[in-house]
Chain A
C-alpha cells in the first residue's frame, strides 16, 4: 500500500483557486483523498492542505502546482503530519 504525503499550499484567497488545484489532480488521474481549506489570518491568502498518495508522478505534480498563478507556495510534509489526524474524528461514520 502506498503511503500518504501531505501537501501544504499557500494560495490566493479567491473563488476558483480550489478548482484550479483540484482539477489539476483530477485531469491527471491523480487521486486526492483529503482536502482542507481555510483563509489564513491574512484575508488575501488561504491555506490548502491536500492528502495524496506517494507516487512517482508526485514531483511533477508539485512542479505543476507551482506553475499555478494562484498558488504562492507549496510545502511537502510526511504522512505523519497531524493536520488530517486531528480532524479525522469529524469524518467517522
Chain B
C-alpha cells in the first residue's frame, strides 16, 4: 500500500471509528482536507471558529464518552483552538486536536501562520505530539487514542507539518487501534480499610464527581448509595450520576448548593469521595470543609489523592472496579437517624428558587422547559448565573445528559457543545441554556447549527450584562458595578434571523407557555430570547474564599437597590 501522510491520518481515524469531524481548513492542513474529501465514512462539519470546532468535538465526546477529533490549521487556527482544548483538560474530556503546521524546512523562520503549536499545547493537554515523518503517524495516531481514554481521560494535540502530510509512505499493514490501558491493580487492603470506615460511619455522605460519569460507574454508584442509604452530593461535573429526583440526592454541593446540602456536609462523619477532586468551588474554604469527616477517596488519578485534603484512605482505581470490590464488604443499612436528620435539615434550610411558577423568570424558564421536554434530551450551558441555575433547578435523569464547562468555566461553550451533542444524538432534543454575555463569545456557530439543521434549542437568559460579575460587584464590591453592564442591548431575535434561525422573544409574547412549546415542537434549531432582571441573583452563594457554611441566602439589599434604579 502507498499513501500520503494525510491519507494515513484519515484512514487511521476511520479505523478508530471516527465518523464526524468538525474543523476549519487553511493553508497548512489542506492536504488533510483533500484526503478527508475522499473519505467515504467521515463527514466534515465546517465550524466558523476553531474554538467552536473544539467545543463541537467536546459535545460529541461528552455525550458518547468516546474520543472526538477536530481539525484546525497552523498559526491562528491553533491558537483559536486552545481554549476548547484547555477546557477539555480541566474536565477530563477525550478530544484529539489535529493541526496543520508549516513545512519542516520552514519551521523556525517565522513563516506565514507559523506558531509553536507543540509548545503552546504542552500545559493544556494530557499529551501532545509533533509528527516528524509520515511513518511516525502509525505510532502517533493509535497512541493518541490510547492516551485520550486510558485512566483519567484528557485531550490530545497532534501537530503535523505540511510536508509530513504530503509525504508518500509504502507499508504492508495498518497498525493496531489504540485501546485503553487496563493495568490497574486494586489494593485490597485499602478497600478493606475503606469498608471499615464506611461501615463504622454514623453520618456518611457520598460525594460524587465527574469521574463517575467518565468511568460509566453511575449504576454501581447508585447501588452503593442505596445499600448504604447514604445521602449523596454531586459536583457540577457529577450531576446526572444520580437522578436529581432520587430520594438520597442532595444535589450539587458548594458555592451554589442548596443550603441543606452544605449544612449536611458540616455534620457528616465520613465523606466517601468517588471520582471527585475537591475543587475550590465545591469545598469552599478547605480547612472548614467537612470538619468532622474521615475521608475515603477513590480516584483513578493518583495525583488527586491528598492534593487538596488528606484522605484517611486513598484508593487509586477505576471507580467501577473499586465499587465492585468494595460493595460486598459494605453492610446494608436501613434509613436511620441520619436520614431523619437530613430531612430535618431540608426543612430548616430549604432551597429557595424565586418565581419558579413564572415561565419568564430566571428559574421558571428552566423548570418549565424541563417540564415540557419529552424523550431523550441533552442539556448544555454556558458559564454564569444561568449555568448555576440550571445546575440547581434542572431535574437531571441520567449520566451524560448534562454538558457544562466545569473546571475552566469557558463562556462560549454552550452553543458549539450543543451542536456536537446533536450531531451524535440526532433523534434527541438538545437544549442550550446560555446568557447574553456567553453566547456572544461563540455566536458565529448559530449558522453551523442551521447548516446542519440540528435540533438545538437555545434559550438566551438575557440580562444585558455579565450577570455573575454584576452579582459579585453588587455583593462584594460595595455595588460598584463596572464593566459588567452592556450599554447597548443586542437584538438576539434579529441576530438569529440573520443566521436564518427560527427565533422567539419571551419578552414581547402574550402566552409564554405556547411560545416555548412552539419553539420546542418544531424540528431544527431555534433561539428563544428570555429577558431576565439583572438584579435577580443566584442564591445561595458562598463568598469566594469563604467556608461553605457562610453562604449568603438572599439579597438583603435588593429592595433598596431596586429603589435606586427606579429613581
A69 touches B127 (CB 8 A): yes
- Asked if B122 and A23 make an inter-chain contact with CB atoms under 8 angstroms apart, the answer reads yes
Interface flags, B105-143, vs A, CB<8A=1, else 0: 000000000000011001100111010000000000000
- Total interface residues on A, CB under 8 Å, equals 14
Out of A15, A23, A63, A66, which one reaches B123, CB within 8 Å?
Answer: A23
- B307, CB-defined interface residue at 8 Å: yes
A43 within 8 A of B: no
Contacts of A69 in B (CB 8 A): 126-127, 147
Q: Which A45-73 residues sit within 8 Å CB-CB of chain B?
A: 59-60, 63-64, 66-69
Compute the total of residue contacts between A and B using a CB distance below 8 Å: 26
The smallest C-beta distance from B487 to any residue of chain A, in angstroms, reads 38
* B residues contacting the other copy or chain, number (CB 8 A): 14
Q: Counting CB contacts under 8 A, is B302 at the interface?
A: yes
With A16-B118, A16-B130, A69-B147 in contact, is A27–B303 under 8 Å at CB?
A: no
Q: Is A81 at the interface (CB under 8 A from chain B)?
A: no
- Interface assignment of A29: CB less than 8 Å from any CB of chain B: no
Q: Which of A3-48 contact B (CB under 8 A)?
A: 15-16, 19-20, 23, 27
Q: What chain A residues lie within 8 Å of B302 (beta carbons)? A: 63, 66-67
B14 close to A (CB within 8 Å): no
Residues B122 and A67 in contact, CB atoms below 8 Å apart: no
Cβ of B502 < 8 Å from any Cβ of A?
A: no
Known pairs A69-B127, A69-B147; A19 contacts B303 (CB<8 A): no
Whether A64 pairs with B303 at a CB distance below 8 angstroms is yes
The interface residues of chain A lying within 8 Å CB-to-CB of B126 are 69
Docked-complex contact B301 and A67, CB < 8 angstroms = yes
Of all chain A residues, which has the CB nearest B129?
A16
CB nearest neighbor in A for B151: A67
Provide the bound-state CA to CA distance between A20 and B130, in Å.
13
Structural contact, B123 and A67, CB atoms closer than 8 A? no
- In the assembled complex, the Cα of A12 lies from the Cα of B122 at a distance in Å of 16
Beta-carbon contacts of B279-307 to A below 8 Å, as 1s and 0s?
00000000000000000000001110011
- CA distance in complex: A20, B127 (Å): 9
Which chain B residue lies CB-closest to A57? Answer: B307
Alpha-carbon distance A64/B305, docked complex (angstroms) = 12
Cβ of A19 and Cβ of B147 under 8 Å apart?
Answer: no
Interfacial chain A residues near B301, Cβ < 8 Å = 67
- Residues of chain B within 8 A (CB-CB) of A64 are 303
A20 to B118, CA, bound (A): 10
| A contact residues around B306 at 8 Å (CB) | 59
The residues of A that contact B130 with a CB separation of less than 8 Å are 15-16
Q: For the complex, give the distance between the alpha carbons of A63 and B302 in Å.
A: 7
Q: How many Å from the CB of B480 to the closest CB on chain A?
A: 31
Residues in B whose Cβ lies below 8 Å from that of A68: 127
Residues of chain A within 8 A (CB-CB) of B122 are 16, 19-20, 23
Partner of A27, one of B118, B123, B147: B123
Whether A63 pairs with B303 at a CB distance below 8 angstroms is yes
Q: Which of A15, A20, A67 is within 8 Å of B303, CB to CB?
A: A67
Q: How far is the CA of A23 from the CA of B147 in the complex (A)?
A: 20
- A7 to B301 CA separation, bound complex (whole angstroms): 21
**Known interface pairs A15-B130, A67-B302; 5 further A-B residue pairs with C-beta atoms within 8 A, sorted by A's residue number:** A16-B128, A23-B123, A63-B303, A66-B303, A67-B303
